[in-house]
Chain A
Amino acid sequence: MSTGPMFDARALTVAFGRSRVLGLRAIDLTIATGETLGLVGESGSGKSTLARSLLRLNRASAGSIRFQGRDITRLQGTPLRALRRQLQMIFQDPFSSLNPRLSIGRAIAESLIIHGLARGSEIQERVAASLAMVGLPATLASRMPHEFSGGQRQRICIARALCCRPQFIACDEVLSALDVSLQGQMLDLLARLKHQLGLTYLFISHDLRVVQRISDRVAVMYLGRIVELAATAELYAHPAHPYTGALLAAIPTPDPLIERARRFVALPGELPSPARPPAGCAFHERCPKASARCRTELPPLADIAPGHKVACFHPN
């Protein structure tokens, strides 16, 4: 196993549409082999775009992506298809991500067939093994998606992602559609699978409590850029970017005394439109610490402590 990073993205930029609206703006990011990198930010900040770009589901308009040392930015055809086996994604909505007309066994088997990884009875065995890994009996393989609850469907989606033995899984809001009591179980399951199978995760969520539980490091995104990146404990204890601070302050604490004592002030405004990004730091219009420099100059993502990067002229 290589000791280098699993992913190494440099100046990764993604533009959409004829007007070339930037979804990602010069992202520099490495994901170490075996780590779980959490990705947080408001909707529209570019979390899913980043995951999809690493998986080559979006085309990079500039910059490069290396996977295990190999440049995959422009990979096409058979090599791209072979790469896809290594990289899987699980989505938010377990209802729309399963084909209602395929039995779940067939849905899970699909990737094995496409990649030619198994034949005949071996397919059934691999499907059964995948289902077992997520705690579902193999006898359910002939059932249709509508026969399952939301939590079970999400397990099926995980089984499908695991079936071709990937090295990397991007989990895009996989817990958001589930009830709180189920979220705990699902986090335990993902952590166990990672340990057993030596997986690397990119874990996207708008729920900072969930991200805190599962991630080794957390990256905070704002309008297509990473504005802060640090080890989980460091980020939650010492958020340096005012935006990270505001996000953390917005999470309700399950304690009425704390909630009432702190006279909460909500962050004003909303994420600006990526079609009309503000000059300078994209956050300056909402930022309590914004200065004249923030309105004109873009703060670079720079180290403020070992392993702690922030893109802000006035970090906390």
Chain B
Amino acid sequence: MSEPLLAVENLCVTFASEHGAHAAVSQVSFSLRAGEALGVVGESGSGKSLTMLSLLQLLPNGASAAATRAQLGERELLRLSRDQLNSVRGREIAIVFQDPLTALNPVLSIGRQITEVLRHHFNLEPAPARLRAVELLTRVGIPDPALRMNQYPHEFSGGMRQRVTIAMALAGAPKVLIADEPTTALDVTVQAQIVSLIADLLQQTGMGVIWVTHDLALLARIADRVLVMFAGRIMESATCEELFTRPQHPYTQSLLSTLREGRTATTGGEAPMVSHADPAPVGCPFAPRCAWVMDICRATVPVMTPAAHGGQVACWKVTR
């Protein structure tokens, strides 16, 4: 098997406050191969976005990341200097965010924003950079690209803006593309367009994509493998088909039954509110909402263990 593009082991993100450190992401490990689409699903506050931001050193103030390994090719992502970061961000690993309107600068033309990336990474002169930018806009399906280059973000629809941010992400020809809820703000019809666009790009470029979403059903369409996150931890990982046909973790099962039957099967209550004042939780974070909770679940955090479906699961009920 080929070396993974990206290998992350035991990634933790902690927030420091006057009440001490609080872990928002704990012991997250995963890898991504070239041409692979890895789906990451979780509710708000599950740590899925923080995990991704930490890889680009984009964490908010007060948060810090540590990992045994967060390796992209030869580089250790969490140990990059500022200069190194500038050559890695956008060039090796790029990100597309949920809200394209805040991701774009409202006072710069679209063309200026894309050529900026090209000039930074490839030292292109203005004319060839412009040519290349038009190519990129064409590739992401924007009609009249030469005309659109001179327009500003407010002149684009939501779906077209998201295509622009995808074009910007592609400008550096990255090895890894992180798509952080890129279709959440869009209509289903436009979501379907963006999904097929990214699937096509994946095939053409061979880059690896990490698709972060709260919508598990969407991953059935695009992901090769899926990580299920809850309260800052990975609960289950498996190939897409196995996860949907033989989910092992009670949380995954409840997500799927919500989607399929429209019922909340096991899960009363919301994801635990992350509060700095709370003591560090003991045991499995899903225990308060789990229908099969046992004594051990409230006492000890289950670790990721190989499961029957060939993936891994962190659950005492499954592993015992």
Contact = CB atoms under 8 A, between A and B. Distances in A.
A206 interface: yes
Contacts, number: 101
A183 B258 contact: yes
A182 B270 contact: yes
Contact of B191 (A179, A185, A187, A250): A250
Given A181-B267, A184-B264, A259-B221, A43 B216 contact: no
Given A250-B191, A266-B192, A179 B214 contact: yes
Contacts of B258: 180-181, 183-184
Contacts of B44: 150, 179
Majority SS at the chain B contact face: helix
Contacts of B271: 179, 181
Contact of B187 (A188, A206, A254, A268): A206
Nearest to A187: B262
B192 A264 contact: yes
Contact of B264 (A188, A246, A255): A188
A267 B193 CA distance: 7
Contacts of A250: 188-189, 191-192
Contacts of B255: 180-181
Contact of B43 (A181, A208, A249, A270): A181
A102 to B, nearest CB: 22
B218 A184 contact: no
A268 B217 CA distance: 22
Interface string A249-262: 11111111111000
B240 interface: yes
Interface string A205-216: 011110001000
Contacts of A149: 270, 273
Given A180-B259, A254-B244, A256-B241, A42 B217 contact: no
Nearest to A262: B221
A44 to B, nearest CB: 9
B220 A255 contact: yes
B68 interface: no
Given A149-B273, A151-B270, A256-B244, A267 B192 contact: yes
Given A43-B187, A206-B187, A180 B196 contact: no
Q: How many residues of B sit at the interface, in one of the four size bands?
A: 35 or more
Interface in B23-46: 43-44
B158 interface: yes
Majority SS at the chain A contact face: helix
A251 B217 CA distance: 8
A247 interface: yes
Nearest to A177: B44
Interface in B241-266: 241, 244, 254-256, 258-260, 262-264
Interface in A162-215: 179-185, 187-188, 206-209, 213
B43 A254 contact: no
A185 B187 contact: no
A157 B106 CA distance: 34
Most buried by B among A43, A181, A206, A259: A181
Given A181-B43, A181-B270, 19 more contacts: A43-B187, A149-B273, A152-B270, A179-B270, A180-B43, A181-B258, A181-B264, A207-B188, A246-B189, A247-B189, A250-B189, A251-B217, A253-B220, A254-B244, A255-B220, A255-B244, A266-B195, A267-B193, A270-B189
16 contacts: A181-B43, A182-B270, A207-B188, A209-B259, A247-B188, A250-B191, A251-B217, A252-B217, A254-B216, A256-B220, A256-B241, A258-B220, A266-B193, A266-B195, A270-B190, A271-B187
Interface of B: 43-44, 157-160, 187-193, 195-196, 214-218, 220-221, 240-241, 244, 254-256, 258-260, 262-264, 267-268, 270-271, 273
